[in-house]
Amino acid sequence: MNKTILGLDQKASDNLVEELNGLLANFQIYYQNLRGLHWNIKGKNFFELHVKFEEFYTDSQIKIDEIAERILTLQGTPLHTFEDYLAKATVSVGKNISKDVDAVELVVNSLSELLKNERKILDLAGEAEDEGTNSMMSDFIAEQEKTIWMLNSWLG
Averaged pLDDT score across all residues of the chain: 98
Indicate the pTM of the whole model.
0.97
Distance CA 125, CA 73 (A): 14
Angle at 57 (CA atoms; ends 142, 138), nearest 5 degrees:
20
Distance CA 22, CA 84 (A): 9
- Domain-by-domain residue ranges, the chain? 10-155
How confident is the model over 51-67, as pLDDT tens digits?
999 999 999 999 999 99
CATH 1.20.1260.10 fits 10-155, yes or no: yes
Asked if 70 and 124 count as a contact pair (C-beta separation under 8 A), the reply is no
Q: Which residues pair with 9 in a beta bridge?
A: 3
pLDDT band at 1 (very low <50, low <70, confident <90, very high): confident
